[in-house]
Structure 1
Amino acid sequence: MNFLPTLTGSLSQPAADNPTVAIMEAAYAHHGLHYRYINMDVPPELLADAVRGAKAQGYVGFNCSLPHKVAIIEHLDGLAESARIIGAVNCAVKRNGRWIGENTDGKGFLHSLTPVVDPTRKHVVILGAGGAARAIAVELALAGATRVTIANRARERGQELADLVNGKTDAKASFIPWEGNLPLPADADVVVNATSIGLAPDWQARVPVQADSFPAHAVVADVIPNPPRTLFLGEAEARGCRILDGLGMLVNQAATNFAFWTGVEPDKDVMRRVLEQVFTA
């Protein structure tokens, strides 16, 4: 008897070296699953055709990257709660014959954070107001964070995210303008750099916060996976903070996708080892 592979994949534009391919393929092999993860270039004008093709070819799910995260919604049958609030989808899952949009960016961060600290009743400070910040703010608010402070240079975008959290979750959110070296709130329990500052090859770029204002009791995280140890995390650790690198978010995001598609909880250590090899090669 011949078995066709069950497919998952990524609808991306433009295509880049995709570390998710490496870690998903490694996890499928490790668990003996007859799945494949395939990256495909999809220009915006062909997104509808690509989704129809994925459905016709028996995909059980797929990821989508920018600029498709909002446009994909009209091609799906429904949205999970966090994806609905965030207004963006990066993971499509076939459930009971219906295609449901999930946003696993924030879930990946939440799952990397919770072994270190429970966000329930915590004050979270998020630097930035882009897609990653939006997903993390919503997911942590849904997970029980009581306060969310958004710091951003562009006032309109930062205030819009604070208003979203206030309007769609039980958390209380506020916006603070990010001008110069930002002093971090002394009562922050979790501080997250959700910007791209410090991403390779510009790894020497410094996130403009007051280095002496990191609360020593706080958990400080960076969404940047490459390099795993950023200058931002180094400054926080020097102040006595516990730190979380961006590899954890990326691994947990991929692991969440994996579990949605296969029903199997993957070995995250296998995925992280492959990811470390990708970023140090």
Structure 2
Amino acid sequence: MGKLFGLLGNPVSHSMSPRMHNDAFRSLNLDHHYHAFDVKVSNLESAVNGIRALDITGFNVTIPHKVEVMKYLDEVDEEAKLIGAVNTVVNKDGRLIGYNTDGEGYLQSLQKITGEQLQHMKVLIIGAGGAARAVFTVLSRYGVPELHIANRTKEKAAILANECNCGNTNVMVCSVEEAAMCLDIYDLIINTTSVGMSPNIDQLPIDLGNLRVDSVVSDLIYNPLKTKFLQEAEAKGATILNGVGMFVGQGALAFEKWTGHSPDRSKMEKVVLQQLGGS
């Protein structure tokens, strides 16, 4: 008999995870099923208890439950603790263990563009929310020598820098306006905010007037596939990366933790792009 996997979030009707994971199960001839469960904040504890009772093998967690769910788990992985959020849970003999695969999923996607040069890059992260914490943590742990965090409120950026620095990374915080003035010092610029996401597609997270033509510009957003931020960066000669690779990467890592099998990531990406109407 197949196993059941799922997603806890609110809302989840837009989620691409069910189609992506169910296609991967079929490709590997696994008789499993992935279902999205729309769970209100007030029902989260009951939902987790229901997962225990039903012996669901594993599940993903998305907005707005990534932080709150940690209260109801038996164990939380060290990196998830640093990030302060869980996006993947494995049911191991009745014990619910939380992980965060967002950061590693992003790193793997990024390395396809940067290669080993990443370990020599000066990086700017725009934003200081949950996604920024995942990206900052994994890049710090990887050994990126210099990371700057630009945010509307420097205090929030400073908290992130103090709590998530895993290595000898030199960290600075600044305002978005300050970062824009010296944008040419950065080799890699990463937008972790929702600025530019559909339907507000005409917004920019930072002014790109001082962008270097040989820089890499990354946006965690994947709807639209090419945000205005990426369009302008590409027009200036920069190498660009959207958020599809991160989404597929975090999903593939969760899949591996649940099943012990490695899915075909290129096929997963194709399924996601089909849903997004791109190629």
TM-score normalised over the length of structure 2? 0.92
Give the CA deviation at 1:96: 5.9
Give the CA deviation at 1:138: 0.6
User: What is the alpha-carbon distance in structure 1 between the residues aligned to residue 178 and residue 77 of structure 2?
Assistant: 38
Q: Which one-letter code corresponds to 2:156 in the other structure? A: R
Per the alignment, in what secondary structure is the counterpart of residue 11 of structure 1? Answer: strand
Structure 1 counterpart of 2:36, from 28, 35, 39: 39
User: What is the alpha-carbon distance in structure 1 between the residues aligned to residue 110 and residue 51 of structure 2?
Assistant: 33
User: What is the alpha-carbon distance in structure 1 between the residues aligned to residue 273 and residue 157 of structure 2?
Assistant: 33
User: What is the alpha-carbon distance in structure 2 between the residues aligned to residue 120 and residue 60 of structure 1?
Assistant: 37
Give the CA deviation at 1:132: 0.8
For 2:171, the equivalent position in structure 1 comes to 173
2:195 corresponds to 1:232? no
For 1:194, the equivalent position in structure 2 comes to 192
Structure 2 counterpart of 1:52, from 43, 49, 52: 49
User: What is the alpha-carbon distance in structure 2 between the residues aligned to residue 195 and residue 19 of structure 1?
Assistant: 20
User: What is the alpha-carbon distance in structure 1 between the residues aligned to residue 227 and residue 195 of structure 2?
Assistant: 9
User: What is the alpha-carbon distance in structure 2 between the residues aligned to residue 65 and residue 123 of structure 1?
Assistant: 30
Q: Which one-letter code corresponds to 1:253 in the other structure? A: Q
Q: Identify the range of structure 1 (50-59 vs 30-39) with the bigger mean alpha-carbon deviation.
A: 50-59
User: What is the alpha-carbon distance in structure 1 between the residues aligned to residue 93 and residue 52 of structure 2?
Assistant: 13
User: What is the alpha-carbon distance in structure 2 between the residues aligned to residue 120 and residue 87 of structure 1?
Assistant: 25
Q: Identify the range of structure 1 (25-34 vs 113-122) with the bigger mean alpha-carbon deviation.
A: 113-122
Unmatched 5+ residue regions in structure 2?
Answer: none
For 2:119, the equivalent position in structure 1 comes to 120
Does the 8 A contact of 2:188 with 2:216 survive in 1? yes
Give the CA deviation at 1:152: 0.6
Q: Which one-letter code corresponds to 2:12 in the other structure? A: A
Does the 8 A contact of 1:91 with 1:103 survive in 2? yes
Does the 8 A contact of 2:101 with 2:250 survive in 1? yes
Q: Which one-letter code corresponds to 1:72 in the other structure? A: V
Deviations 1:238-264 (A, max 9, x none): 222211111111111111111111111
Per the alignment, in what secondary structure is the counterpart of residue 120 of structure 1? Answer: helix
Give the CA deviation at 1:99: 2.2
Does the 8 A contact of 1:163 with 1:173 survive in 2? no
For 1:145, the equivalent position in structure 2 comes to 144
Question: Over aligned residue pairs, what C-alpha RMSD do you find?
Answer: 1.9
User: What is the alpha-carbon distance in structure 1 between the residues aligned to residue 4 and residue 87 of structure 2?
Assistant: 16
User: What is the alpha-carbon distance in structure 1 between the residues aligned to residue 62 and residue 71 of structure 2?
Assistant: 15
2:121 corresponds to 1:109? no
For 1:11, the equivalent position in structure 2 comes to 8
Does the 8 A contact of 1:6 with 1:58 survive in 2? no
Unmatched 5+ residue regions in structure 1?
Answer: none
User: What is the alpha-carbon distance in structure 2 between the residues aligned to residue 17 and residue 51 of structure 1?
Assistant: 22
User: What is the alpha-carbon distance in structure 2 between the residues aligned to residue 97 and residue 86 of structure 1?
Assistant: 25
User: What is the alpha-carbon distance in structure 2 between the residues aligned to residue 210 and residue 184 of structure 1?
Assistant: 10
Q: Which one-letter code corresponds to 2:145 in the other structure? A: T
Does the 8 A contact of 1:181 with 1:209 survive in 2? no
Structure 1 counterpart of 2:21, from 20, 24, 39: 24
Following TM superposition, the consecutive aligned residue runs of length 4 or more in structure 1 with deviations greater than 6 angstroms are none
Q: Which one-letter code corresponds to 1:113 in the other structure? A: L
Deviations 1:60-86 (A, max 9, x none): 211112221111112212222210111
Structure 2 counterpart of 1:206, from 182, 186, 204: 204
Q: Which one-letter code corresponds to 2:175 in the other structure? A: P
Identical amino acids, percent of aligned pairs? 37
Give the CA deviation at 1:97: 5.1
TM-score normalised over the length of structure 1? 0.91
Q: Which one-letter code corresponds to 2:170 in the other structure? A: K
For residues 232-251 of structure 1, the aligned pairs below 5 Å read 232-251=229-248
User: What is the alpha-carbon distance in structure 2 between the residues aligned to residue 195 and residue 122 of structure 1?
Assistant: 21
